[in-house]
Amino acid sequence: MPDVMRLSFLGTGYLGATYAACFAELGYEVLGYDVDDAKIAKLAAGRAPFHEPGLDDLLRRNLAAGRLRFTTSLTEVAGFADVHFICVGTPQRPDGMSADLTYVENVVTALAPLLTRRALIVGKSTVPVGTAAWVEQLVAKHADPALGVEVAWSPEFLQEGYAVEDVLRPNRIVAGVRSEWARVRLHAAHKGVFDLAATEDRDVPVVVTDFATAELVKVAANAFLATKISFINAMAEVCEVAGGDVTLLARAIGYDPRIGHRFLQAGLGFGGGCLPKDIRAFQARAQELGAGEALRFLHEVDLINARRRGRALTLAAELLNRPVGPAGPDLSGARIAVLGATFKPHSDDVRDAPSLAVAAALANAGAHVHVYDPEGMPNARAAQPALAYEESLVAAVTDVSLVVVATEWAEFRNADPVLLGELVAERRVIDGRNCLNPAQWAQAGWTYRGMGRPPV
């Protein structure tokens, strides 16, 4: 093995591109691989194909230093790296529940026969439990048995918008391994992470597990986070009929350190490329394994989440004094601004974004919807081409009778309700993320409705 460990990251989407740049920054020699020429060309030019704060700087710096390269050649990857990280996507199948492992299978079966020396293949993608053992079988079938290639599973927990920080300074590393050799090599592949922590007087806990536990840790963590969000959104539903304020309720329960304040933000619910897909794939896998009942509550978590999007629609009808028929509200002709198109701030990702779903539902109900987002416009336009997009907050709200804040970007949180009040036709606002100050907006003459809060 050369002095500086050589790592490959297979699949340069969100996960692989961020890992590749961060591990190069930590001093490793890194090769990123993807089948997509355009993506590789962009990354090789120092530009991430998605918005992630800090990533472009890391890409440029490490490309220039020669520690980071990108390729579409798996032969080059096989000859280069000591440890190969699988970072390909595991999208939802058309059944709307289970995970599609085609990309995992393709990359493993293509790489394995090309390997010429002992290597560790580490799974990072989010997968159904049982995948690591299956990957091990694929490797046994396709790699030269004399090489002793091994498999490990080490899930990732990075959050979009904070991905660079989450990779450089993880709060834990899970090492699903079957041998001491694999454990030692996986540890060596993370030495840069441990060294950085040591210089900052931090500790990075390592949890060494079997394959199944490592795979389950990831989906269990996302299931827990989704459940926490749906729990507080369920409380929002109760607050709405009982006259309570869910933001105060969350504050009060969160002071109990057993509960904590994070992920108790009630609003339009969770979206994105991970939580919704992962809780469904987890249920599908549990069902296959005969433990469907254990995860039945996740179906409820999903339903609560979906109801919040519907609530935004009925709130709009209420505020605009429009009838709600059996087919839903009639919002014909109403001009509505939807502020936010991404699934959360600091990201340009619109996958399963509650904001965009609400915008589309308002448009379906007959409204003229004007969408603005600081980072997500190109992706939003591609995902929902029928909606009207505006280039600024001012353009979006001008002459509307209702403003819906659907993603809590700082630009919206800090917007001046007095100034906005002069632009709109009617001062009505739905705070879909409970991120505005109701008293301040009311004082500026707005009719304010939050999610799970009393009307102001």
Binding residue numbers for NAD(+): 34, 39, 90, 126, 160, 277, 351
DSSP string, 281-343: HHHHHHHHTT-GGGGHHHHHHHHHHHHHHHHHHHHHHHHTT--EETTEE--TT-EEEEE--SS
Nearer to ligand UGA, 14 or 211 (CB): 14
Tell me how far, at minimum, the Cβ of 308 lies from ligand UGA, in Å.
Answer: 8
To ligand UGA, the closest distance from the beta carbon of 5 in angstroms equals 24
Is there a contact between 7 and 85 (Cβ–Cβ < 8 Å)?
yes
DSSP structural state of residue 92: B
Task: Report the distance separating Cα 396 and Cα 338, nearest Å.
Answer: 8
Binding site residues, ligand UGA, CB under 6 A: 126, 156-160, 222, 225, 229, 263-265, 267, 269-272, 274-275, 278, 343-344
Three-state DSSP state, 450: strand
CB 427 within 8 A of CB 399: no
Give whichever of 270 and 448 is closer to ligand UGA, judged by the CB atom: 270
Q: What is the dihedral of CA 96, 99, 104, 106, to 10 degrees?
A: -40
Q: Taking the complex as a whole, how short is the minimal distance between the CB of residue 441 and ligand UGA, in angstroms?
A: 21
Q: Are 74 and 110 in contact (CB under 8 A)?
A: yes
Strand order in the sheet with 368-372: 388-389, 368-372, 335-339, 402-405, 428-431, 447-450
- In angstroms, the Cα distances linking 150 to 33, 135, 180 are 20, 10, 11
Rounded to an integer, what distance in angstroms lies between the CA atom of residue 75 and that of residue 116? 10
| Contact criterion met (CB below 8 Å) for 121 and 90 | no
Distance separating alpha carbons of residues 409 and 380, to the nearest angstrom: 15
Smaller CB separation from ligand UGA, 6 or 449: 449
Neighbours of 379 (CB within 10 A): 21
- 63: alpha, beta or left, given left = phi > 0 and alpha = psi -120 to 50? alpha
* Residue with tokens 């509960």, as numbered in its chain: 259
DSSP string spanning 418-433? Answer: HHHHHHSSS-EEEETT
Q: Nearest approach, Cβ of 275 to ligand UGA (angstroms)?
A: 5
Could you tell me the smallest distance in angstroms from the CB atom of residue 218 to ligand UGA?
Answer: 7
The reply to whether 274 belongs to the active site is yes
Structure tokens at 320: 């605009």
- Which of 22, 87, 239, 274 is the catalytic position? 274
Binding residues: 34, 39, 90, 126, 157-160, 218, 263-267, 271, 277, 344, 351
The distance of closest approach from Cβ of residue 227 to ligand UGA in the complex, given in angstroms and rounded to an integer, is 12
Write the single-letter amino acid at 418: V
Would you say the C-alpha torsion 44, 45, 46, 49 has a positive or negative sign? negative
Helix or strand holding residue 227 (H, E) = helix 211-242
User: Please, are residues 206 and 181 in contact by the beta-carbon 8 Å criterion?
Assistant: no
Shortest CB 432 distance to ligand UGA, Å = 10
**Binding-site entries for substrate:** 157-160, 218, 263-267, 271, 344
| Closer residue to ligand UGA (CB): 266 or 337 | 266
Quick one: which of 220, 219, 211, 78 has its CA closest to 134? 211
- In the complex, the smallest distance separating the C-beta of residue 122 from ligand UGA, rounded to whole angstroms, is 16
Q: Report the C-alpha gap between 293 and 211 in whole angstroms.
A: 23
Nearer to ligand UGA, 8 or 355 (CB): 355
Whether the Cβ atoms of residue 453 and residue 241 lie closer than 8 Å to each other:
no
Q: Residue with structure tokens 């997968």?
A: 127
Residues involved in catalysis: 274
